[in-house]
Amino acid sequence: MSRKIFSNIWKRPEDSYTRPSIYLERTDSIDSNATAPNIPGPGRNVGRLYDVLGSKFEDFLRRKGPRLGLGQSGPQLSLQLFRKDSIDSIASDATAPNNPGPGRNLGRLYDALGARLEVVVHKRTGRLNQGPDVVVQDIHELRCYRRKPYFGKNGDLLSIPVVDNSVSPTEKQYRILRKLCRKLLKYCRSHELEIQLRALDEVTTLAVGDPHVRKVFESILKSKYLIPKYEERELHLSCHKAIVSIKEAEIHNIWSQNVSSDGAETRLARYLCDPDVSFLVARLLRKEYDDAANVLPSQWMWDCYVDVAVAQPQIIEWDSLNAFFKYQFHGCPEFIRNHASQILRLACQIPDFSLYDNNQALLFKHPNHASMDLIDLEYRAERIRTCLNFLTGLEDLVGQLQYLRHLDRETRSYLQASVFGNEVLIAYIRIYCNRNVIHCIYGPKSCLPELSVMLYYYLNGVPDEKNLAKVVLLRSIGSSRYLKYALSYLLTQHNPISQLLNPPQLIEQQWCFMNRRWMSKSKHKLKLAGEGENMHKNDTLCLYESLQDSLWLQVFGDERPFVSKGHFPVLAGYDLSGRELYIARAWDGETPYHMYTYVSNGESSISFINDDGKWITTSRFFVLVLKHDPCDVGVPVIPDNAKFQTGSVYWIQTDDDDTESETDSDTESDHDSDDAEQRAAVLDREETPSNFVPETPQLEGGIGE
């Protein structure tokens, strides 16, 4: 049956391939339902009927006119007709629904009946195992496609067909494949528009995804077979993509050889800018990613594709660009950040453009002011802040807000419903990202700009802005004593009497205080002298704290030494002179781990020996301090055997066996929290002579996070 479809053109010599244009030349604006005989739509048949009846009626009048006395008396004038081009030839009785006349209601009736008929036909073909989907499924089974799982836009587990292209079909499979391809091409000539479009899309997908199937299509398809007879825009595009995907052998040959060569890169970059074949190169890129098992290939070409999308958005296949952004976020998130400004321009130019859920920082909608649910915003805070830094090219809040305020009106209107259009949320995101690390008041950074922005909207904004500002202010001062005192300082500049700080905002709905044990599986020896105690070599102290008990205070010792005044540093022990020693950590510089040691009041640097045995001294370090004032947290239950208590944080001496078992169980529970960060946890005390005073606090090893 399918051979008969091709019998008329089977022995006809093939014309040389000429790339079709993606642009559809249309000079008229006739509605698709008009009765013009050359316009597709339900009015076409009615128009043909009118033409036939009208011409027959004219012939009848010419023949019967003289007999019926319909001829004119008197001199006859010879009239010569000349053909004149007309742009608008719609008759007043056309069936177009937007034209007045008796044909309008008839056209609407045809529209309804035609749509209903298409639904019935599609259901029947599905029940009879007919249609392009069934043929494509047979091709997949013949080529041994496997399903590759991936997560969709809404987190749904989906799959895509993937085939091993290195396996060629056998002679028998090749014959069956030719029959199936002919059958699929037959559906490309269907009279039902939806079936025709589905078949064309499947042809394009198969031609791009499987070179063996593409060669089969190329061997049996004549160039003019898929040229549409009608002028629907979507039909024209689908036919164009199918023909180009099959016949553009040069692009497929370049791709199958060496894409990274200089000549191939130049030609493929030129093809990306060509509106007729740009989609094909983009789909081949997607296929390369799928075949590479999540390894991002051809990064330079993706960069070029984004540049083309910015310069010529009308030629981009947005499904491919969306999929590309999804791939890039998982494998190379800095690409999204580096191209943030370009992505923003794309999002503003194309209303339908949207990023996938996993990387929609630019399009992240801010929470409803009525519900004030900031959980999702906090979950994405670090991602949004990084995108904002790359978008503006700045890291300070004042510069970022100035940049956003000076954007053009169209861009600012687009950002109005996103986080980037809300200055209160921008300020809160910056504070939230630093919730576990606070810079000293004498350091180069401060949280005063962020709090000033939120306080300004709380005092001067509209009701919605005031409500949102109050919520984020309460969450901010409830997260750290440092933010509370910084806001108290700002309030003295505006309104000395405020209800924001009374009482301290440690709300149960915001913070969950649970005692947890932070431990490390490896034990390292910290040389400290016990305070009137004989510590044994294998004694172990475990630090007990809650998720919200402490944070890391960043110290820049080259600018000013660490001063414990104004802080509650977590006590680690004493030296023989009775000087207090506090937990500190610093980057190794050669490994991605923190190394732990201790620091005393007034010191500008810390020293430790890393895992390679190298002596490291640095003036940039962190000190573990309490996050809240002890009076705000309340009176915790402290065990009798607790040592070196600092507020609600204390140390407990445990046995080695208990330490090892409890470490395993606690490590699993720590993974459940996004904030789980292994801190200085297991400190070994070594027996020290009573007359020993260390010249410099030394750590024989480091605890890696």
Using one digit for the tens of pLDDT, what is the confidence trace for 94-143?
A: 555 556 566 667 777 777 777 777 767 766 665 666 788 888 888 888 87
Q: What is the pLDDT of residue 478?
A: 79
For residue 393, give the 3-state DSSP assignment. coil
Q: Percentage of the chain surpassing pLDDT 90?
A: 3
Q: What is the pLDDT of residue 332?
A: 46
The residue with greater pLDDT, 262 or 57, is 57
**Most confident region among 224-233, 318-327, 332-341, 391-400 by mean pLDDT:** 391-400
Phi and psi for 203 in degrees, rounded to 5? Answer: -60, -45
Q: What is the pLDDT of residue 603?
A: 92
Q: Residue 46 gets which letter from DSSP?
A: H
Q: How much is the pTM?
A: 0.53
Q: What is the pLDDT of residue 351?
A: 44
What would the mean pLDDT of 644-667 be, rounded to a whole number?
A: 57
What would the mean pLDDT of 568-577 be, rounded to a whole number?
A: 82
Task: Find out whether 456 and 473 touch, Cβ atoms under 8 Å.
Answer: no
End-to-end CA distance of the chain: 69
Asked whether the predicted pLDDT for residue 270 surpasses 80, the reply is yes
Asked whether the predicted pLDDT for residue 443 surpasses 50, the reply is no
What would the mean pLDDT of 452-467 be, rounded to a whole number?
A: 88
The residue with greater pLDDT, 419 or 498, is 419
Confidence class for position 604, pLDDT limits 50, 70, 90: very high
Confidence class for position 596, pLDDT limits 50, 70, 90: confident
Q: What is the pLDDT of residue 324?
A: 67
Asked whether the predicted pLDDT for residue 486 surpasses 60, the reply is yes
Q: Residue 331 gets which letter from DSSP?
A: H
Q: Residue 359 gets which letter from DSSP?
A: G
Q: Percentage of the chain surpassing pLDDT 70?
A: 54
Per-residue pLDDT tens digits for 232-248: 788 888 888 888 889 88
Asked whether the predicted pLDDT for residue 165 surpasses 50, the reply is yes
**Most confident region among 96-100, 165-169, 337-341, 449-453 by mean pLDDT:** 449-453
Measured from the Cβ of residue 646, the count of other Cβ atoms closer than 10 Å reads: 23
Dihedral sign (CA 410, 411, 415, 421): negative
Q: What is the pLDDT of residue 552?
A: 85
What would the mean pLDDT of 175-201 be, rounded to a whole number?
A: 87
What would the mean pLDDT of 512-517 be, rounded to a whole number?
A: 39
Q: What is the pLDDT of residue 77?
A: 43
Instruction: Give the CB-side neighbour count of residue 113, counting CA atoms within 13 A.
Output: 9
* Mean pLDDT over each residue of the chain, to the nearest integer: 68
Residue type, 677: E
Task: Find out whether 588 and 609 touch, Cβ atoms under 8 Å.
Answer: no
**Look-up: residue for tokens 């000395």?**
496
Asked whether the predicted pLDDT for residue 22 surpasses 50, the reply is yes
Asked whether the predicted pLDDT for residue 682 surpasses 60, the reply is no
695 burial via Cβ count (<10 Å: 0-12, 13-18, 19+): exposed
Closest CA to 352 of 302, 404, 316: 316
Report the alpha-carbon distance of residue 12 to residue 265 in Å, rounded.
38
Q: What is the pLDDT of residue 293?
A: 47
Report the alpha-carbon distance of residue 601 to residue 563 in Å, rounded.
5
- Lowest-pLDDT range, 28-42, 252-266, 306-320, 662-676? 662-676
Which stretches of 318-422 are DSSP H helices?
318-331, 333-338, 340-349, 375-379, 381-392, 397-405, 409-415
Q: What is the pLDDT of residue 326?
A: 60
The residue with greater pLDDT, 333 or 648, is 648
For residue 396, give the 3-state DSSP assignment. coil
The residue with greater pLDDT, 424 or 265, is 424
Q: What is the pLDDT of residue 535?
A: 47
